[in-house]
């Protein structure tokens, strides 16, 4: 099996998780990671054995002054890699795209970049084949990923007439000390729709979807209140079974007593997930309800980690290294997604019917 050499430009919240996920894959290796400054994450990368590169040439001296050896600058990393995962802050990836094209190295940008910068947007469950052979692909944002993972099986099984979703978004990640609000609830944005609906349409161009957004003083997860008008009329039990069969949707059993995002994180930590990460959509089984053809449910999205398996699959897609079924199965097995969160703690029975 050819080992894919993956460079990670930006070793922060997403980048460090992607690097660890790449290391877990049987067909990938980390060529190195790039950082702008010698902070605790740079030291963590060195401790893990990753070759460290300076993302900004003018700051190379800072690493030497901090006693950290580097393997070169970001151009050296691009040259040493089969593919680059760009996990830099929003807007920076678009600037970096010129470098990736110069070196003829395929690259993955993240959801903070505009869709028109790349050849295609990507969610493994929905449009894997669109990214095959692409020079630049965009792994869409955590919220768009979560909505797309939900839409894909529903559309296949029942057809979708309309999606309406209200997103209650965390104010910032736990380490983002400069984010807010601190004591407020903000319509974000005030105008409708929020950017999430149009972003989902980069994956499902013909989908009729409206989204609204709020921002709250929390750091744990995003929360979605979703209403989908289906073309068919399944039962709630039918929909639960459909979503339970998906590897990247976790239908929370009623017997677990999980009543919020904090409990989900605690559950993930008890299941020995690295950093307490939750790669799956977390859907409360009790919330799955049908009124005629109208489906309602609540789902929580871990913004720090749900795009990680998507990045791994997108690597194989742009290099045409595996088909969708092979790649997602390989990723899921390597990360433990095939066992799932419930399986990790012995399983809990679901209700048999409504």
| Residues labelled catalytic | 142
Axis crossing angle, helix 324-335 with helix 13-24, rounded to the nearest 10: 100
Q: Which long-range contacts (CB under 8 A, 24 or more apart) does 285-289 make?
A: 285/240, 285/251, 285/252, 285/253, 285/254, 285/350, 285/351, 286/254, 288/236, 288/239, 288/240, 288/243, 288/251, 289/236
- Give the number of other Cβ atoms within 10 Å of residue 291's Cβ: 10
Overall residue count recorded for the chain in this entry: 354
What are 94's two structure tokens? Answer: 């678009």
180: left (phi over 0), alpha (psi -120 to 50) or beta: beta
Cβ-based neighbours of 269, under 8 Å, separated by 6 or more: 276
Alpha helix ranges (H) inside 110-141: 124-127
Residues 306, 142 contacting (CB under 8 angstroms) = yes
Residues 68, 51 contacting (CB under 8 angstroms) = no
């Amino acid at each position: 099996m050819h080992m894919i050499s993956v460079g990670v430009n930006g070793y922060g919240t997403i980048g460090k998780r992607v690097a660890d996920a790449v290391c877990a894959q049987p067909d990938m290796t980390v060529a190195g990671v790039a950082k702008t400054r010698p902070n605790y994450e740079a030291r963590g990368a060195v401790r893990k054995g990753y070759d460290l590169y300076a993302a900004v040439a003018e700051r190379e001296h800072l690493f030497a002054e901090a006693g950290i050896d580097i393997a070169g600058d970001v151009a050296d990393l691009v040259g040493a890699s089969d593919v680059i995962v760009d996990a830099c802050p929003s807007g920076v990836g678009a600037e970096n795209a010129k470098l990736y094209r110069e070196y003829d190295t395929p690259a993955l940008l993240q959801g903070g970049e505009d869709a028109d910068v790349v050849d295609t947007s990507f969610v493994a469950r929905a449009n894997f084949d669109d990214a095959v052979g692409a020079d630049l692909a965009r792994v869409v944002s955590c919220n768009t990923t979560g909505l797309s993972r939900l839409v894909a099986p529903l559309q296949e099984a029942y057809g979708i007439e309309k999606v309406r979703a209200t997103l209650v978004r965390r104010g910032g990640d736990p380490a983002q000390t400069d984010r807010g609000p601190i004591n407020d609830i903000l319509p974000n944005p005030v105008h409708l729709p929020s950017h999430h609906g149009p972003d989902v349409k980069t994956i499902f161009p013909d989908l009729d979807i409206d989204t609204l957004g709020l921002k709250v003083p929390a750091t744990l997860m995003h929360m979605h209140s979703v209403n989908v008008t289906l073309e068919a009329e399944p039962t709630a039990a039918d929909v639960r079974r459909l979503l339970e069969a998906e590897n990247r949707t976790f239908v929370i059993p009623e017997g677990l007593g999980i009543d919020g995002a904090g409990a989900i994180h605690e559950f993930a930590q008890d299941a020995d997930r690295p950093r307490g990460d939750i790669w799956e959509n977390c859907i409360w089984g009790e919330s799955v309800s049908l009124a005629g053809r109208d489906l309602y449910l609540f789902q929580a999205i871990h913004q720090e980690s749900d795009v990680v398996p998507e990045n791994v699959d997108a690597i194989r897609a742009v290099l045409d290294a595996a088909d969708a079924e092979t790649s997602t199965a390989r990723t899921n097995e390597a990360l433990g997604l095939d066992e799932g969160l419930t399986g990790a703690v012995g399983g809990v029975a679901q209700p048999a019917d409504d």
